[in-house]
Amino acid sequence: MLFIADANVFVPMVDGLRDMGHDVFDVKEKGLENLSDPEIFRPAQKERRILVTMDKDFSNILLYPPGEHHGIIVVKLYRLKVADATGLFLNAMDDIKPKDIPGNLVIIDRSKTRIRKEKLED
């Protein structure tokens, strides 16, 4: 899968995704860590990448409605050691079915992973 990692995503999380075989564009590696939310969202959509972030603003479905993007993963693993947060994140990524990410909002926190899917019209 194609991912773009926001500046706040820990390096070991990026490395872990790569170890899983994913293509990850890490904004920190390119010196783009000061991008605004729209500035990171636009290239993610243009390149059809799934955005991985620890920025809660991306969990706002009014601004980023499921079905209108290529996938957003919000990692809500705050106030943990980097190793602990990385372990929880990678375990969650292992458990998520790849088909459940594109177009959806995935929220990973300490106790569970939630997937907010596109609301289909009746």
Is 94 contained in some domain? yes
Residue 122 located in a structural domain:
no
User: Domain for residue 83, yes or no?
Assistant: yes
Question: Per the structure block, which two tokens stand in for 108?
Answer: 């990973």
* Of the candidates 61, 44, 62, 75, the residue with the CA atom closest to the CA atom of residue 104: 61
What residue type is 8 in one-letter code?
A: N
pTM of the model: 0.93
Instruction: Kindly report, residue by residue over 8-57, the tens digit of the pLDDT.
Output: 999 999 999 999 999 999 999 988 888 899 999 999 999 999 999 999 99
In this predicted structure, the answer to whether residue 99 has a pLDDT above a threshold of 60 is: yes
- For residue 118, what pLDDT is reported? 80
Instruction: Count how many Cα atoms sit within 13 Å of the Cα of residue 52 in the half-sphere of its side chain.
Output: 29
Amino acid 16: pLDDT = 97
- Angstrom distances, CA of residue 114 to CA of 53, 56, 76, 109: 15, 14, 11, 9
| Count of Cβ atoms closer than 10 Å to residue 61 Cβ | 14
Q: Does residue 73 form part of some domain? A: yes
- Segment 71-87, tens digit of pLDDT: 999 999 999 999 999 99
Question: In CATH, what number is assigned to the domain containing residue 85?
Answer: 3.40.50
Instruction: Confirm whether 121 is domain-assigned.
Output: no
For 20, the domain range is: 2-116
Q: Is 10 part of a structural domain of the chain?
A: yes
Separation of alpha carbons 115 and 122, rounded Å: 20
Q: Residue 119: pLDDT band by 50, 70, 90 thresholds? A: confident
Q: What is the predicted pLDDT for the residue at 121?
A: 54
Helix (H, G, I), strand (E, B) or coil at 40: helix
**Residue 8 counted as domain residue:** yes
E-assigned strand segments in the chain: 2-5, 23-26, 50-53, 72-76, 105-109, 113-116
Total domain count, the chain: 1
